[in-house]
Amino acid sequence: MSVSTNPPSVEDHRSLARENLAFADGLRASAQDPVAIRWAVTALFYAALHALSAYMLHRYDVVALEHKHRWPWLRTYSELKRFAYDYRELYERSHAARYSPATFTGSDYDKLRARGRHMIERWLKDSG
């Protein structure tokens, strides 16, 4: 495995967003496995994170190395403000899925997926 020290490009972020989304949906197919659903929620958040990162790099040539660097984008850039609540919801659910004994169902994932779909698709469309 080779590890790049270069920051991801717009296309790298776009690919990672699509890969995480496909992975999340694949895990969702294992609806009987609560661990799979928790990781599906996490992968869904990372799909949004990479879609947002692709958009911001493409549009404004800015990079975020940590989660805390993305929050100001959602408060500052007018076109992102409408997505702030849904992005935060995905972040919080992802955090709960990884660090707490939270239980998620396939239906929970489907609701998060529906809420996240519009922002992920928009950011991918507008980033290239």
Examine residue 2 and state whether it is found in any structural domain, yes or no. Answer: no
Band the pLDDT of 30: cuts 50, 70, 90. Answer: confident
Residue 3 has pLDDT above 80, yes or no: no
Q: How many domains does the chain have?
A: 1
Examine residue 27 and state whether it is found in any structural domain, yes or no. Answer: yes
Taking only the tens place, the pLDDT of each residue in 31-43 is 788 899 999 999 9
Examine residue 114 and state whether it is found in any structural domain, yes or no. Answer: yes
Which CATH number fits the domain that encloses residue 103?
1.20.120.330
**Tokens in use for 67?**
């989660």
| Helices assigned H by DSSP within 5-67 | 10-28, 34-60
Examine residue 110 and state whether it is found in any structural domain, yes or no. Answer: yes
Measured CA to CA, the distance from residue 16 to residue 8 in angstroms comes to 10
The pLDDT score that the predictor gives to residue 110 is 95
Examine residue 1 and state whether it is found in any structural domain, yes or no. Answer: no
3-state secondary structure of 9: coil
Q: What domain range is 34 assigned to?
A: 10-125
Examine residue 4 and state whether it is found in any structural domain, yes or no. Answer: no
